[in-house]
Every structure is written in C-alpha cells, then in structure tokens.
Amino acid sequence: MDKIHTISELLKEIIEFKSVVSNEQIYYRGQKNGKRAGWTLLPTFYRERKDYPNISFYFDKQEELNTIYKFIEKNYDYFKNIAFNDLISIINILQHYGFPTRVLDVTQNPLVALYFALEKVEKDDGNEPVIYLIYAEKSNAGYLINNELEKFYNEEFGQKKRLNPMILVNGCVLSERIRNQKGDFILYFEEGDINENRSFTIKELQISTDSIESLKEELNLLGISEATIYPSLATETLILKEQLQNSAQQRDIKEKVKISMSKGLSDTKEVVSNVLGDKLADRKFLDKKKMFAEINIKQ
C-alpha cells in the first residue's frame, strides 16, 4: 500500500505488521512529517541541542537535572502526587506539556497516533503526515528505571556507555492526560538513530494528503477529538461554545434565506447579498446555488 486513505487501511497495515513481529504489543507515533521531509524519530531535547550549542542545559547533566527540579518547585501543583525521586514519571509528565526531554512519545492506540499526525495539518499546506508502527522487544516499568536514571545523571565523563541507549518505558498512570492518550515513551540515554537499534522494529506509513479531512471526520466519529486527547474542563467548555456558535449561525442563515425567498428574490446574487452582506456577495463563489442547496427550509 502506497499511502493511507482510510482508518480501515491503517488497521490492515497494523495487522500485517503484527504478523511479522509475532503479534506482540505494537506502539504508534504520529508526526506531521517523516523521513521525506528530513524528520527523524528523535526527542525534542536532542533536536533542540543542535540549535542551542551554548546553553548548558543541553550539555551538562547536572544543569539539566537542576533545571527540571527548579521547574517542579515553581509548578508544584502538577507534581504533588509524585515522589520527588520518581524522576521517570516527572520527565514523562514534563514531556506531555512541551518541556524538552530525552523521551519520545508513543501510544498504544493507533487512532491517537493518527490524531497527532493530522492535528496541525491541512491539505496542501506542504506537510506530509506519517504514522510509525513500533515494536520493542521489551517494555520497562517506569518506576524500575529510576535507578538507571540516577546513575545516568550522576555518571562521570568517560564512563562506559549503556549497552542499549534506547528503551521503551510504560507511561505515568498518575496523569489523566497520559492515560487518555494511552501514552508510553521511548527513553533515549543518548542521541542516535532508533532504526539502527536491534531492539526495535519500525515501519513508517505515509498518509494521503488528499484524505486528511475525511480521516479527521472518521476520527471524530470514533470519539477521537481534542476533548478526549486533551481532557480538561476548559477544553470541554471551548468545544461547547463553538458548537453553540455554529448552531446559532446556521439558524441565522436559514432564517435569512427564508426571508429572502419570501421577498421573491430570484437572482442568486441578491439572495447571497441579503444573507451574507454585499462584501461577500461580490466574491466569486464556484456555485452560488449549491451554497444553499443543502439548507432544508420548511415552508
């Protein structure tokens, strides 16, 4: 299959991939660009390090750790349910809120990955969204990684490198946001190409840009939306307000069309002008009659 056009096609690709890796747990990651655009599977920390060569946070492990804990102290309410030495859970939450970390988000839900691939993408905007299917030979419980992280941040320069610089870690269950996204992550102890790591098997699937809007509609029908991905009362309120505004606008347009037709306006431009105003009426619509064809007006 060249590109993904429907969710059904995506699921077929997943079934085929699982048959290759002995039907084990698969993880997914969605990005608005992939290899063709020069994007790699690399955590934000390492991507930004190339852009900020003079900032010690990216090169001094103690400064990195110090910055993390200072951030926690200033935003304690977000971390009050997490032990101070549970560094892996802290990093996991920081990652989900945009803090530059050494971890790469993945999810156990392919539809969540598809949402992220399409979230900030529109047709013909130049992006080429992709989904990665990821198999890891071993997943690690988050709490068991803390000892390794402590050694990592306190090791001396020149100390022997880890045998495996990348490991898959189960996500922090203390965060509702991470639970909703079925979030896990890959921890990079050092920068590198994960495709060359024998512990991982990865396949990139390109998404058809012609199918972006229809895929978004499919996701919405299946309950994958901003409200479920980013659960919060503020998000729910914003979505409700948008629904109310759209409903009000539709009722207003229908009412204006009824009034225009009752006045005996037969010319399409007159109707458009009466409903949308003179400025919009002067625009060259492709098919002005079609604009109102689907509006059901009860006489």
pLDDT tens string 153-178: 887 545 566 668 899 988 655 555 55
3-class SS of residue 64? helix
**281 & 215 share domain:** no
Backbone angles phi, psi at 242, to 5 degrees: -65, -40
Most confident of 25-34, 78-87, 135-144: 25-34
CB 131 within 8 A of CB 29: yes
Say how far apart CA 67 and CA 162 lie, in whole Å: 24
Could you say which of 224, 246, 273 is where a domain stops? 224
Say how far apart CA 7 and CA 218 lie, in whole Å: 7
**211 & 284 share domain:** no
- What does the pLDDT average to over 244-268? 70
Residue 49 belongs to a domain: yes
Residue 2 belongs to a domain: no
**128 & 245 share domain:** no
Among residues 105, 136, 110, the alpha carbon closest in space to that of 15 is found at 110
pLDDT grade for 259, boundaries at 50, 70 and 90: confident
Residues 6 or more apart whose CB falls under 8 angstroms from that of 288 comprise 268, 269, 272
Residue 1 belongs to a domain: no
**187 & 272 share domain:** no
Q: What residues pair up with 140 in beta bridges, in sequence order? A: 169
**219 & 242 share domain:** no
3-class SS of residue 277? coil
Residue 130 belongs to a domain: yes
**38 & 152 share domain:** yes
Say how far apart CA 203 and CA 230 lie, in whole Å: 27
Residue 173 belongs to a domain: yes
**40 & 127 share domain:** yes
pLDDT grade for 41, boundaries at 50, 70 and 90: very high
**220 & 239 share domain:** no
Q: Which pLDDT score, from 0 to 100, does residue 245 have?
A: 67
**208 & 265 share domain:** no
Residue 229 belongs to a domain: no
Say how far apart CA 190 and CA 223 lie, in whole Å: 37
Element (H, E) at 135: strand 130-136
pLDDT grade for 78, boundaries at 50, 70 and 90: confident
pLDDT(286) > 80: no
Print the domain residue range for 151: 7-224
Residue 299 belongs to a domain: no
Question: Tokens 């079934």 correspond to what residue?
Answer: 15
Residue 110 belongs to a domain: yes
Q: Which pLDDT score, from 0 to 100, does residue 289 have?
A: 45
**203 & 253 share domain:** no
Could you say which of 174, 189, 224 is where a domain stops? 224
Q: What is the pLDDT of residues 198-243, one digit of tens each?
A: 899 999 999 999 999 999 999 999 988 887 777 654 444 555 556 6
**180 & 264 share domain:** no
Domain count for the chain: 2
pLDDT(283) > 50: no
Q: Which pLDDT score, from 0 to 100, does residue 290 have?
A: 44
**217 & 246 share domain:** no
Could you say which of 224, 246, 266 is where a domain stops? 224
pLDDT grade for 31, boundaries at 50, 70 and 90: very high
3-class SS of residue 104? strand
* Whole-structure pTM value: 0.73
Q: Which pLDDT score, from 0 to 100, does residue 270 have?
A: 63
Q: Which pLDDT score, from 0 to 100, does residue 256 have?
A: 74
Q: Which residue has the higher pLDDT, 178 or 106?
A: 106
